[in-house]
Amino acid sequence: IAARGELRHNPAHLIDIVPTALELAGVKPPQTWGSKPVPAAPGRSLLPAFERDGTVLHDALWWLHEGNRALRM
The pLDDT value recorded for residue 63 is: 86
Per the model's pLDDT, the better-predicted residue between 67 and 54 turns out to be 67
Residues contacting residue 4 through CB under 8 Å, at least 6 positions apart: none
Find the length of the chain: 73
pLDDT tens-digit readout, 7-64: 888 888 888 999 999 999 999 988 999 999 999 888 899 988 888 888 888 888 888 8
The pLDDT value recorded for residue 57 is: 82
Residue 8 and residue 53 in contact, taking contact as beta carbons nearer than 8 Å: yes
Distance CA(51)–CA(16), nearest Å, equals 16
**CA distance to 24, 30, 52, 56, 67, per residue, from 7 (Å):** 21, 33, 10, 14, 31
